[in-house]
Amino acid sequence: MAACGQYYRGGSSTRQGFLKAGGLAAAGVIAAMGAVPGTIVEGRGRALETAEAAIGVDEPAVFQKEASPNLELTSGSRINSVTNSQQTRVLSYVREALPGWRTLPDGDIQLKQITGGITNVIFKARNAATGEGALVRVYGKDTDLLLDRRKEAAVFSELSTLGFGPRKLGEFKGGRIEELLDARAATPEELLQTSPFDVPQAIAVQLASLHGQRVRSSAGSPDRPVMWISIDKWLKTATRLDSTKSFPLAKVAQEVVWLKRNLPGPAAVAEGTPGSPDQATAEIANGVVFAHNDLLSGNVLVGPRGAKEISTLRLIDFEYSDYNPCGYDIANHFCECAGFDADFRRRYPSDKQRQAFLRAYVEAARPGALQKALSADNVISELARLVNRYTLASHLTWALWAVIQANTSEIEDFDFAGYATKRLDGYAFHKGEFYA
């Protein structure tokens, strides 16, 4: 998600010393929200430096070993400072999970920690003799406050069988082992690149395919989207954790109430003649689908690794995936085009870019629909208007995520508080743009 290169869900700064400043800035942002007519305000994966060739495993290995306690870092330490004994424990997991690796001498297995992760601790293991590799994901400290790990693991496995994301090679208590893919992560700038490879079109087509899946292991369902469930839960968690009142969460809570009144419910459709552009687009934007919910640049693999030109594209990392309105998932992706710099005034996709993405999405999700419409341009224009309104829910989601991380994460070189402030600034800006 940004100019911070290897980060996937930032900037740089130490965690100590910026909470107060970030909170004060956030207070100013919330105050600015009051300038919008109608407001009732009164007072984010995985880090992949590289990806390698996949290794073949028929069935994933399952073994019950504690991972997190052995990889637990002391308070104030950096998450990318892992001791030799901790790496040895990770190596033991790899040996148990991968066929033929148990008898390899230690010198034949290369283990490298992938730096920059801000949710999990990630390692890359390679068989020096064959070049085969695997990725080891150890869940980060207190991330169960944000994610249901049991559900997430089940969704990962189900999506893997459906052809989405890497295969699971093994799992242990507190983490899992995955195949490595011969690809690199896209940059935020590449998310809007149309030549020589049309990245937005490829993302739109794959997102439409994901939205068409019926995933049974998720927490939500087509009748139970999780957008408001997550926002409400994270607001309560953030309020409980933010004991120093560094963020104006009471005012954020008022904005949540306001937005619930102004965003349509899951079953809502626009008023109008059946078959008209406004009804058809509302059914798309407000329809509940299995959504990615975290489609930032780090979760879009392009490749092959080392190649400058993009020739393939694949969506990965479904940690936050669940059922949500289609418009929310697309609007969230548009926000991610700004990267972790989160300069939404300059880097949020233009009207033309958003409409091109939506046209590709509709053509993939509902083949022939635009050809049957009286005015395809009107359909796409109205769809863009409805999707834009979900942008505010994306800002609230990741602002609250960042507040929780600022109070729990031991990663010191990621400015969670600053990022929360940037998302609240984006909320205020887009509220004026899309709800005026």
Q: Enumerate the domain spans of the chain.
A: 19-46+185-434, 61-180
Higher per-residue confidence, 50 vs 129 = 129
- Residue-level pLDDT at 36: 36
Q: What is the pLDDT of residues 341-364, one digit of tens each?
A: 999 999 999 999 999 999 999 999
Bridge partners (DSSP) of residue 168 are: 178
How many angstroms separate the CA atoms of 14 and 412, rounded?
5
Q: What is the pLDDT of residues 80-90, one digit of tens each?
A: 445 677 778 88
Strands 288-291 and 300-303 turn out to be unpaired
Q: Is the pLDDT of residue 208 over 60?
A: yes
- Residue-level pLDDT at 143: 61
Of 40-44, 258-262, 314-318, 404-408, which range is least confident?
40-44
Burial class (CB in 10 A: 0-12, 13-18, 19+), 194: exposed
Nearest CA among 429, 407, 305, 220 for reference residue 50? 305
User: What kind of fold does domain 61-180 have according to CATH?
Assistant: Phosphorylase Kinase; domain 1 (3.30.200)
**With bands split at pLDDT 50, 70 and 90, how would you rate the model's confidence at 119?**
low
**Own/partner pairs for 345-354, CB < 8 Å, 24+ apart?**
345/429, 347/188, 348/430, 349/192, 351/384, 353/192, 353/200, 354/384, 354/387, 354/388
- Residue-level pLDDT at 218: 83
Report the phi/psi class of residue 341: left, alpha or beta, with left for phi > 0 and alpha for psi in -120 to 50.
Answer: alpha
Planar angle of CA 361, 362, 364, nearest 5 degrees: 65
**With bands split at pLDDT 50, 70 and 90, how would you rate the model's confidence at 79?**
very low
Helix axes 391-408, 326-336, angle to 10 degrees: 60
How many angstroms separate the CA atoms of 75 and 66, rounded?
20
Residues 409-418 have a mean pLDDT of 83
Residue 190 DSSP code: G
Nearest CA among 67, 54, 46 for reference residue 98? 54
Residue 263: C-alpha distances to residues 172, 250, 308, 388, 431 (Å): 41, 20, 41, 11, 12
| Residue % of the chain over a pLDDT of 90 | 41
Residues 280-284 have a mean pLDDT of 87
Nearest CA among 303, 375, 293, 307 for reference residue 336? 293
Buried b (16+ CB within 10 A) or exposed e, 367-379: eeebeebeebeeb
Structure tokens of 184? 């690199």
Structure tokens of 352? 């033309």
Bridge partners (DSSP) of residue 137 are: 122, 176
Which of 30-44, 299-313, 357-371 is the most confident on average?
357-371
Contact indicator for 127, 104 with CB cutoff of 8 Å: yes
Q: Is the pLDDT of residue 142 over 80?
A: no
Contact indicator for 419, 11 with CB cutoff of 8 Å: yes
- Cis omega before residue 188 (within 30°)? no
Contact indicator for 135, 179 with CB cutoff of 8 Å: yes
* Secondary element (H or E) of residue 69: helix 68-71
- Residue-level pLDDT at 389: 96
Higher per-residue confidence, 177 vs 394 = 394
Q: Is the pLDDT of residue 412 over 50?
A: yes
- Residue-level pLDDT at 41: 25
- Residue-level pLDDT at 1: 36
Q: In what order do the strands lie in the sheet with 312-315?
A: 184-185, 300-303, 312-315
Q: Is the pLDDT of residue 27 over 50?
A: no
Nearest CA among 101, 102, 120 for reference residue 175? 120
Look up the CATH architecture of domain 19-46+185-434. Alpha-Beta Complex (3.90)
The dihedrals phi and psi of 354, each to the nearest 5 degrees, come to -65, -40
Looking at every residue in the chain, the average pLDDT score rounds to 78
Q: Is the pLDDT of residue 402 over 50?
A: yes
How many angstroms separate the CA atoms of 345 and 425, rounded?
10
